[in-house]
Amino acid sequence: MNVPPSLVRLVDQLARLPGIGQKTAHRLAFHILREDPAYAHTLARALEDVKANIRFCQRCFGYAEDELCPVCRDPSRDTGQLCVVEQPDNVFVLERAGVFKGRYHVLMGAISPLDGIGPGQLKIQELENRLAGENIQEVILATNPSMEGEATALHLARLLAGRGVNLTRLARGMPMGGNLEFTDDVTLFQAFSHRQTFGGE
């Protein structure tokens, strides 16, 4: 194959992205090639910045550029409501949908013995610390509607029962076995507004 090596390198790197096949990688590479050089520069900088600057929020473990993420630093957020999610990406999805005005807590996963993840591997102790230190009235369990997400929600409900916080779970209607990431905004909005009291027993 007599293709300039730098083009091959770009295509190969793009093809490593999820959901991008060889064909799409080619299309993207040629697109970048045809664009203004400034675009390639901006794109490269954006890629480098995201790796260099993004870390986890010290309080909620969402994505942040500083010690605290934008949500935790925003004084207009409702500090009485805490939405518990599996992954930092879930915060991004919920923020984009704009359906929730409280704060978040990211567990960094879900209970999955098959993947060697028990409650001890999740940010559950950190969640308990927050409940003790912050004035939280409602905990919304927004783990994924998968079996692992369900088990995690059940576990938290069992753990947090009797601590004087109101526990709720996002309403069903989200496709079972699904993922917050792939749930559309309208469904998310409905799931939030119809959230139900949730208890371990």
Partner 1 sequence: MVIQELGLSGFRNYQELFLPLGEGIHLFLGANGQGKTNLAEALHLITHLESFRSRRLEPLIRKGQDTARIKARFTRQGRPCLVEIEIARGGKKVWLDGQPVGKTSEYLPLFFSLLFNAEHLYFYRSFPAYRRAFFDRLISFHDRGYLESLKQLRVVLAQKNSLLRQGDLSSLADWNRLFMEKSQDITGRRELTVSQLRPEMEKSFQGITGREGRLTLTYRSSLPADPVGWPEFLQAAQEKESQAGYALYGPQRDDYRMTLTEGGATAKEGEFSQGEYRAALLALLLGANRLCQQLGARPVLILDDLFSELDAKVREHLAARLDELDNQVFITATQAPDFGRRGKRYGISGGTCQGE
Contact between 162 and partner 1 (CB under 8 A)?
no
CB of 112 to partner 1, least distance (A): 6
Nearest CB to Zn ion, comparing residues 62 and 145: 62
Distance from C-alpha of 146 to C-alpha of 35, rounded to nearest angstrom: 42
Among the listed residues 14, 94, 111, 160, the single contact to partner 1 using CB under 8 A: 111
DSSP codes, 29-41 = HHHHHHS-HHHHH
Binding range to partner 1, per CB under 8 A, among 48-56, 81-89, 125-133, 140-148: 140-148
Among the listed residues 155, 160, 168, 169, the single contact to partner 1 using CB under 8 A: 155
Among the listed residues 112, 126, 128, 178, the single contact to partner 1 using CB under 8 A: 112
Distance from C-alpha of 195 to C-alpha of 75, rounded to nearest angstrom: 25
Distance from C-alpha of 182 to C-alpha of 139, rounded to nearest angstrom: 23
Nearest CB to partner 1, comparing residues 71 and 174: 174
Q: Which does residue 154 bind out of Zn ion, partner 1, none, counting CB within 5 to 8 angstroms by kind?
A: partner 1
Exposed/middle/buried for residue 17 (C-beta within 10 Å: 0-12, 13-18, 19+): exposed
Among the listed residues 4, 18, 37, 116, the single contact to partner 1 using CB under 8 A: 116
Distance from C-alpha of 185 to C-alpha of 99, rounded to nearest angstrom: 8
Contact between 170 and partner 1 (CB under 8 A)?
no
Binding range to partner 1, per CB under 8 A, among 3-11, 28-36, 107-115, 133-141: 107-115
Distance from C-alpha of 132 to C-alpha of 114, rounded to nearest angstrom: 31
Residue 198 neighbours by CB distance under 10 Å: 19
Place of tokens 């704060």: 103
Contact between 160 and Zn ion (CB under 5 A)?
no
Q: Where do contacts with Zn ion occur on this chain (CB under 5 A)? A: 57, 59-60, 62, 69, 72
